[in-house]
A and B are shown apart, each in its own frame.
Chain A
Amino acid sequence: MGTYIAKRVVLLVVIIFFVSVAAFFLVHLLPGNPAVAILGPNDTPQNAAILNHQLGLDKPLAEQYFIWIGHVFSGNLGQSFTTHETTTSVISQSYPIDLELIIFSQLMAGVVAVPLAMRASRRPNRLFDQLANSTAFGMLALPPFVIGPVLVLVFAVHWHVFPGPASYVPITQGFWSNIHTMLLPSIVLALGSIVVYFRLLRNDLIATLQQDFITMARSKGLTDRRIMWRHALRPSSVSVLASAGVTIGGLIAGTFVVELLLQLPGLGFQLISAINQDDYTVVQGITLVVAVAVVLINFVFDFIFTVVDPRIARD
């Protein structure tokens, strides 16, 4: 177990180092010069040279990287060229939205997928199982950018069940209206996760339910419900947990889509507007933060599923 964790930590540090190098070079591989973008109409060779010196862009690349990473560790991700807000404050204002979307959608996915998988696996290949399975298979072909606009059209524009785009209220200013606004985007994100969790859990449950210890539990006269929740669920949840890290990483793309669709000012929305305004420091900062967050989430889930099933760490 110790060596397993040590190996994972080393890999984690290496990956995060490469992520930071990639995010750093993002700005240096850009066509032209950040100074030109900042100066705009005031771009003269003299001004550019002064600004390059002020920004430290005339130093060797390796030195610039270490200066930059030093700033990152002290929480300084630079300043927006356009709004002069610090990147750190842009990120700290927007990340709660992504966090809320991910938590809501994963709660919804769990609440729907677990009972469905239990019901379906109790009688495999019977009517309920086949219906649930085909529906899930069909929903694999409905990524957020396809189903999102359709649900907004039907539930927000046509029926007004949910508020439409650009109606975000921070949770501190209106708890219920915030929840109401976040429901529709969370549903869009949850749909994808439900399919993943349902399919994995159903398959694992079917395999688990044929094991001897389940027969044993039945012969003791335990109820189906107790067998499902107390005996079958835990050994069957390894695949789901193993996939949760990847699923949440994959949700990033989905949160970007729903944020743009419903004009929610989260990280994805800020990233897209920064890209559209050529605001390179903000792009760099958000890229770094999102990539590191995804890598860390994957790491944590790798760790969680060794707790649920200690056999994995021994391999």
Chain B
Amino acid sequence: MTEPLLSIRDLKVEFSTRNGRVTALDGIDLDLMPGETLGIVGESGCGKSITALATMGLIPDPPGRIAGGRILFDGEDITHADARRLRSLRGADISMIFQEPMTSLNPVFTAGDQIAEAIILHQQLGRAEANRKAVELLRTVGIPEPERRARSFPHELSGGMRQRVMIAMAISCRPRVLIADEPTTALDVTVQAQIFDLMRDIQKEFGVAIMLITHDMGAIAEMADRVAVMYAGRIVEKGSADAILDNPLHPYTRGLIDCIPVLGKAAGEQGRMPPLAEIPGVVPPLHLLGQGCAFADRCPLAFDRCRIETPILDGRSHGVACFATEMEAV
């Protein structure tokens, strides 16, 4: 069996806040295999982005800190790597694309300059050579007239083009891991589809492993090989994308799937669609997490034990952290 490229073990991240110390990630275990796409799904505030930032060594300290666990990249422990090592990793081996391409691009430099900067930094190439490569990358990510667009400033580009520039920048040094944090949330569906197609093409061509963070189960279906479902800083279910989508075990996963108004379901039927399934309530604020399962208050299956003990993710390939599901299985 191949070794995982990125391996997160029992990761714990804490933040000091006005309400005292809160645990944003509590014992996260994740493996990212070479060339695969791992989807991380959950609502806002579940710890998806913190997981990504921790991997990149980007947790702001203070107020945050990695309180336990390890992050291994290709066998090397990078949990507490120094700034210098992290700088050489970021961009070159692990790179990231963010949700809002407008705020993550520098408005006063041209698209070409920003891509060239990463190349000069990591590949010891001259300015002219880097610029030529930047144009090449813009062509790779499907930007028309790349020579002209390389001289454009971010505000002159559409949202979809900006995200393509971000992707060009992210893949400029042929990273082995690409972390995509809600890369299409700010985009139109047609553009989202183009970006997803591009990410799949890039994965096929360069064999990059992708960690895709999303709240959209549709994106999971289309993009992911394996999935981890997060809730309140823990992984509540993980498995292959098919297993999670066709046979979700955790009530939270079921809720996430059922509450989407799915396209195509009864498309041609007359009359009204039945009401959507709802997950009542909201994700609890971290400082109010008590003992027991964090989902218990919103869970239709919760019973006494759920409010006292915290369920542990079982180690099977399709694993779930839920007492009610355990009972069903017996």
A, B co-complexed: no
Name B's A-contacting residues (CB within 8 A).
none
Interface residues of A (CB under 8 A from B): none
